[in-house]
Amino acid sequence: MTAALIDGKAHAAKLKARLIEETARLKAEHGLVPGLATVLVGNDPASEVYVRNKNKTAEALGFKSVHHHLAETASEAEVLDLVRALNADPSVHGILVQMPLPKQIREQAVLDVLDPAKDVDALTPTNAGLLLSGRAKLVSCTPAGMMILLKETIGAVAGLEALVIGRSLLFGKPAALLLQAANATVTMAHSKTRDLAEVCRRADILVAAIGKPEFVRGDWVKPGATVIDVGINRVPAAEGKTKLVGDVAFAEAVERAGHITPVPGGVGAMTIICLMRNTLIAAAALAGLAVPSV
Ligand SMILES: NC(=O)C1=CN([C@@H]2O[C@H](COP(=O)(O)OP(=O)(O)OC[C@H]3O[C@@H](n4cnc5c(N)ncnc54)[C@H](OP(=O)(O)O)[C@@H]3O)[C@@H](O)[C@H]2O)C=CC1
Ligand SMILES: Nc1nc(=O)c2c([nH]1)NC[C@@H]1CN(c3ccc(C(=O)N[C@@H](CCC(=O)O)C(=O)O)cc3)C=[N+]21
């Protein structure tokens, strides 16, 4: 059996078309232009590419987009001052601080000053808590993208065994909460999990967000399962080049799974467009308008 590929790019394009329409409507009817501010500290080449893509996509939708690039040596006070200034700027509705931050800057200190109404990554304690309470307005982008892909490919997940490997604030924890809210039976695994391969073999939905190239092997996949590969790992390829691979050994898993996301072009392709959706939602909410159902 060979799995059907879940085409993240195609689903992202559909959502993008809806967002373009909704953005034009907000502008025409209310003079509202959603604004996204990105903050990058340091010179990680991969982060630079992602942040540039975020700003490009924002502009393609008709958003205002501003980028702040601070030096690797920036102090925590500098980052906090920038976030406070963006909190106070009425043309900015979404603030994204790219993680990870250099070690002299405490992630928690940054998230403690970030205005939850502008927290389009949904990383602040307020937004994490709202998700836990089932009242989230802003949901983390990659988990939200995963839920869209699941809905569009397998439909209801109620009663299915879902396994999330990884428990980060950015992905694993919110992903598990969303799956549970959709009535899946959720297990969370991490670096201390015993017999991970056996735990994986029970999963109807296998979600890997570990950050280790091709860590999940094909024979860990339950035949017919849906595999969501969140990992983005750059590894050496032929002729001194590099390539992107996920956390799942794709060539093996595709032989067992029912559906699988490729890397790239899978769930990662949904992340940026879900960030734009959050920025639009934040802009409408800050302007006191009905939150668009996109
Ligand atoms: N496609 C996209 O848009 C996105 C992709 N990513 C990618 O997803 C991956 C994970 O990132 P992120 O969520 O930030 O996670 P982190 O890097 O913060 O954490 C990794 C998680 O994996 C767990 N882990 C590490 N080693 C093992 C192991 N041997 N067995 C089982 N679990 C293990 C860790 O467990 P423990 O808690 O015990 O340390 C931890 O919970 C990365 O490749 C990242 O680039 C992330 C966000 C968005
Ligand atoms: N505060 C914060 N929020 C984040 O959302 C965040 C972060 N920090 N730090 C790093 C991770 C990683 N991340 C990705 C974003 C887009 C793609 C993406 O566009 N992927 C495409 C293209 C990949 C490519 O070709 O390079 C794909 O998978 O098809 C991937 C990964 C967001 N992250």
Cβ atoms 145, 171 nearer than 8 A: no
Question: What is the predicted pLDDT for the residue at 112?
Answer: 98
- What is the distance in A from the centroid of ligand 1 to the CA of 246? 11
- For 119, the 3-state DSSP assignment is strand
Give domain limits for the chain: 27-124+270-286, 141-268
Q: Please check if 167 is assigned to a binding site.
A: yes
CATH number of 141-268: 3.40.50.720
Looking at domain 27-124+270-286, its CATH superfamily turns out to be: Leucine Dehydrogenase, chain A, domain 1 (3.40.50.10860)
27-124+270-286 and 141-268 agree in CATH topology: yes
Cβ atoms 39, 68 nearer than 8 A: yes
- What is the distance in A from the centroid of ligand 2 to the CA of 232? 8
Q: Please check if 166 is assigned to a binding site.
A: yes
- Report the nearest-CA residue for atom 20 of ligand 2: 268
Measured distance CA(173)–CA(248) in Å, rounded: 19
Question: What is the predicted pLDDT for the residue at 213?
Answer: 98
pLDDT in tens, the chain (294 residues): 799 999 999 999 999 999 999 999 999 999 999 999 999 999 998 899 999 999 999 999 999 999 999 999 999 999 999 999 999 999 999 999 999 999 999 999 999 999 999 999 999 999 999 999 999 999 999 999 999 999 999 999 999 999 999 999 999 999 999 999 999 999 999 999 999 999 999 999 999 999 999 999 999 999 999 999 999 999 999 999 999 999 999 999 999 999 999 999 999 999 999 999 999 999 999 999 998 888
171 lines ligand 1 (CB under 6 A): yes
Which pair of structure tokens corresponds to residue 72?
A: 């690797």
Identify which of 194, 230, 186, 195 has the alpha carbon closest to the alpha carbon of residue 212: 230
Ligand nearest to the CA of 53: 2
Which pair of structure tokens corresponds to residue 129?
A: 């808590």
Measured distance CA(233)–CA(122) in Å, rounded: 23
Cβ atoms 240, 230 nearer than 8 A: no
Question: What is the predicted pLDDT for the residue at 209?
Answer: 98
211 lines ligand 1 (CB under 6 A): yes
Which pair of structure tokens corresponds to residue 7?
A: 């085409």
Q: Is 121 a catalytic residue?
A: yes
Question: What is the predicted pLDDT for the residue at 161?
Answer: 98
- What is the distance in A from the centroid of ligand 1 to the CA of 215? 11
Question: What is the predicted pLDDT for the residue at 46?
Answer: 87
Beta bridge pairs of residue 272 = none
Helix and strand totals (H; E) in the chain: 10, 11
Burial grade of 239 (CB within 10 A; 0-12, 13-18, 19 or more): exposed
272 lines ligand 1 (CB under 6 A): no
Catalogue the E-assigned strands of the chain. 4-5, 35-41, 64-70, 94-97, 161-165, 185-189, 205-208, 226-229, 233-236, 242-245, 259-260
**Locus of tokens 């406070």:** 84
Identify which of 92, 102, 101, 143 has the alpha carbon closest to the alpha carbon of residue 122: 143
pTM: 0.97
